[in-house]
Structure 1
Amino acid sequence: MGGAQHPESLVRAHSDFLSESILGNTHSVSNSSKLSSICAHDARDAVLSFFRAPPGYTVIFTANATGALKLVGESYPFKQGSSYVLCADSHNSVHGIREFASRHGAEVHYIPSMPTGGFILSAAKDILQQYHPRDSAPSLFALTGQSNISNTKNPLEILVHASALGYHTLLDAAALAPTSTISLENTPVDAMAISFYKMFGYPTGVGALVVKESFLKLLERPWFAGGNVDVVQVPGTLVTRSASLHERFEVCAMQDGTINYLSLSAVTDGLRFLSAYLPFLPLRLSCLMHFLTSSLIQMRHDSTGAPVVKILSKPPSKRLKYIGEEADSGSTVSLIFLSPSGDMIPNSFVEHVAVSHNISLRTGCMCNPGGAAALLGIEDQMALLYPGVTLKDFEQVVGRELGVVRISLGLATTFHDVWRVIDFVSNLANDRIRRKLWDAWINVPVGQAI
């Protein structure tokens, strides 16, 4: 979820290409610029093909999925009477769009999260019905395809329902795309945000907004720059935008400048790489997830027999048996560690021990405060927050560190990786080893890197 391990073969292929090629800024007609334009065109076609996009879609390359979501938020024609509907269990990049909506007089409405994340489909439909577009005020529905903290996969058919009610639809597929097949032909959406490094690890700094051209025509960038214009009157106020729809947005979306033309050939190769593994990936991850979760649930403290961990995220409800099956949940486990007496062990201690075992995991709220609040059962405390509150203030009210420990499985995960995590957890189940690790942790001088 945080970032896939980059394949050595992909890096080598891209390095060879750069060693043998000279690429230039795409805003020219030189041979080097033409080659860059060809790479961009090929990458655009590869993205459309990978997501099975029917005619009428185009691709805007951005810095990441967040950049793609921001592009929609700042350009969408919110106004008085508009609604922005989203799930509580969403990434902050989706929540952030509410700032643009509110500034233009639109109302923001949340679909509440279940205790294990996600939402109840009937409740979501009721909220969409209640706030559906009226009086020609455009309204936007943003769906998180897969939660990055609760492991929940949300039903994509809700997008079709929202569209029938008159909403424009936005899919955050950053966590969904790395391990799931997405067909825009079967589930059309007005816009979809992705990050390629989450999908196949390399390159970073490139994402995309896969978008309907008809929807793109409704968006209006609040400014212009570089190659997204044809003519600019200076001094003066006149500006003629580029005739190419994707160019009107792309130049500004890639970190406010020229697209990352050196990396786009790696996007094409990376999609080919993932295409070869994606049919088999859900089955393999299903096996690893079931082994990991069942092993963690069975883990007990040797001194009291109490559980070592409490899994908070949604576990897979079924174990896949065939190639081509799609899992009903993701491949992450969000949990908290418990002491022999049943109290929560600080996440910072768990992370410290993981680092000492050379295991990379993540702790905290994963930039998903709504999902975290649901999993931790602190939604009532969330409602009491006040302007200027800090995380430290919030933790003092709750009485403990906020957040979970997240273990993510993906394209590069092996059985050995999962076994090492289980072995790491078994150390915290051993009273003597855990006390020794705890003493080492509390004796780390303040400010010293661990």
Structure 2
Amino acid sequence: MGGSLYPESLIRVHTDFLYKSIMGNTHSVSNSSKLSLKCADEARAAVLAFFKAPPEYTVIFTPNATAALKLVGESYPFIEGSHYLLCADSHNSVHGIRQFATSRGAGVCYIPSTNHGGFDPHTTKSILLRHRLAKDLPPSLFAITGQSNITNSKAPLSTIELAQSLGYHTLLDAAALAPTSSFSLTETPVDAMVISFYKMFGFPTGVGALIVKKSFLKILERPWFAGGTVEVVQVPGNIVTRSQEPHEQFEDGTINYLTLPAVTDGLRFLSAYLPFLPLRLSCLVFHMATSLSKMRHDSTRIPVVRILSRVPSRPLMSVGELSDTGSTVSLIFFDPLGQMIPNSFIEYAATKQNISLRTGCMCNPGGAAAILGIQEDMKKLYPGVTLKDFEHAVGRELGVVRISLGLGSNFQDVWNVLNFVQQLTNEEWRSGMWNQWARDGGDTILESVGQAI
């Protein structure tokens, strides 16, 4: 579902800590505030250690990964002649930075997605070279998605080194990558990267981070100031003295100090499991994808599903190996006649089996368009278009069904999914479930997009 299951032990440890401690606002010098500041500093150090960050990095806590991306977008010194380069297979929060770029006269250039998501390294190299920078040219930003949340593609991180050698500043969206893959800022010294902790170990929500080079922070220009970001403010007047600590200049208001101790404990928890996660998850995903591909309807032998996302080329064989994909499977379902079964029905039927799936475009329209083959339809969109308009034009619900595996997933989870899909091959079971769904309003959804029932 895009968020990791939180471990019972993490909740117990954090609850016990809060029960025995009194935390205060970090913008004070009381004993409770000193404890909060100590915990915040420990969390910052834990994040840097987890990602093997060299001394030139610092951590800015944000409400989530989206807020961290927005922080870069609103502060980056885009001017006329600058460029913002990004991958089509990216989260909407990465696409949103283009608003800041275009409002200041900068150009926006997209790196196209392949039919299976991600991007072609040779095409990307050509585009980067086309906008090649020199010391006397305006600053430009290259944003890369470490792992797609819908196509399951992993980006070749060597592209970051190429972009930096050409003079680009680099921004890595690691929100989907960090939960199940090891990443070292020593080996890949990106200028800035964003993460979200609930995606990594489930708790706490409402806390993300921008892990960033201090030298990169110096070129960012904040469009405003707030409590905690300043030391002196002239009122009335125009004089503002920023906080001395680089991270404090970018942490608006009060940080989520009550939950930061859980970040430290959560990283410690994940560190113990992360070396083994790629091995376990690649085996589970490989088995699930292989089994799903073999399933056929009883009456016509038509395949039940079509997997659209990338799947591991092979299951890993040893601890320490890294998979060439993530651990999600995006797919669509078909009836015995080969017609697509609505995603909303699949989600409804899965819910009745206590299985949590996600349907839609996963806030990644570029990746979704690529694997669904609707890039040409995307070009026809017009100002003010709604999702219902788009679906009506295409003639069906848009999006995919996504099955996500992560820190807490095991073989029983995969078996439950396979058993559920197997039930869909049974005409009697499927018809009964369809009638329930129709009574609960499912047919209204289809009528709104012009899809036949």
TM-score (norm 2): 0.97
Distance across 1 between alignment mates of 2:211 and 2:161:
17
Cα distance, 1:318 vs structure 2: 2.0
Alignment of 1:194-213 (within 5 A): 194-213=195-214
What pairs up with 1:320-331 in 2 under 5 angstroms? 320-331=316-327
Q: Cα deviations across residues 182-220 of structure 1 (Å, max 9, x unaligned)? A: 000000100000000000000000000000000001111
SS at match of 1:226: coil
Please state how far the C-alpha of 1:446 moved relative to its aligned partner.
7.7
1:125-144 to 2 correspondence within 5 Å? 125-134=125-134, 135-144=136-145
Aligned to 2:104: 104
Q: Name the amino acid aligned to 1:360.
A: S
Matched, 1:408 2:404: yes
Amino acid at match of 1:361: L
Residue identity opposite 1:239 in structure 2: V
Q: 1:99 to 1:405 in 2, by over 3 A?
A: same
Q: Which amino acid aligns with 2:330?
A: S
What is the deviation of 1:136?
A: 2.5
**Paired position in structure 2 for 1:17:** 17
Q: Distance in 2 between matches of 1:445 and 1:370?
A: 30
**How far off its partner does 1:13 sit?**
0.3
Q: Which residue of 2 aligns with 1:245?
A: 246
Q: Deviations over 1:28-67 (max 9, x none)?
A: 1111000000000000000000000011000000001001
The whole-number CA distance in structure 2 between the counterparts of 1:325 and 1:234 is 58
Q: Which residue of 2 aligns with 1:93?
A: 93
Alpha-carbon separation, structure 1, partners of 2:279 and 2:288: 14
Distance 1:413 1:400 in 2: 32
SS of 2:329 mapped into structure 1: strand
Q: Which residue of 1 aligns with 2:234?
A: 233
Q: Deviations over 1:364-385 (max 9, x none)?
A: 0000000000010000000010
User: Partner amino acid for 1:329?
Assistant: T
* Amino acid across the alignment from 1:309: V
Map Cα deviations across residues 141-176 of structure 1 (whole Å, 9 max, x no partner).
Answer: 000000000000011110010000000000000000
- For 2:328, the equivalent position in structure 1 comes to 332
Gap runs ≥5 in structure 1:
none
One-letter amino acid of the counterpart of residue 350, structure 2: A
- TM-score when normalising by structure 1: 0.97
- Please give the root-mean-square deviation of Cα atoms over the aligned residues, in Å: 1.3
1:386-401, aligned counterparts within 5 Å? 386-401=382-397
2:308 equivalent in structure 1: 312
For residues 368-387 of structure 1, the aligned pairs below 5 Å read 368-387=364-383
3-state SS in 2 of match to 1:193: strand
Instruction: Using the TM superposition, give the Cα deviation of residue 77 of structure 1 relative to its aligned residue in structure 2, in angstroms.
Output: 0.2
Cα distance in 1 for residues equivalent to 2:370 and 2:200: 27
Amino acid at match of 1:226: G
User: Which residue does 1:288 correspond to in 2?
Assistant: 284
1: CA distance, partners of 2:259 / 2:442: 40
Alignment of 1:425 with 2:424, yes or no, is no
The aligned amino acid for 2:296 is R
Tell me which of 297, 303, 323 is aligned to 1:301.
297
**Deviation for aligned residue 1:445:** 4.5
Please tell me whether the aligned partners of residues 40 and 261 of structure 1 are also in contact (alpha carbons under 8 angstroms): yes
Counterpart in 2 of 1:124?
A: 124
Give the aligned partner of residue 165 of structure 2: 164
Contact 1:226–1:258 (CA<8 Å) still a contact in 2? yes
Counterpart of 2:332 in structure 1: which amino acid? I
How many positions carry a matched residue from both structures?
A: 444
Q: Which residue of structure 2 aligns with residue 191 of structure 1? A: 192
Q: Is the CA contact 1:132–1:139 (under 8 Å) kept in the aligned structure 2? A: no
Deviation at 1:447, TM superposition (A): 12
**1:440 is matched with which residue: 436, 442, 446?**
436
Aligned to 1:44: 44
Identical positions, percent:
68
Instruction: Give SS of 1:335's match.
Output: strand
Q: Which letter does structure 1 place at the counterpart of 2:101? A: A
Q: Give the aligned partner of residue 8 of structure 1.
A: 8
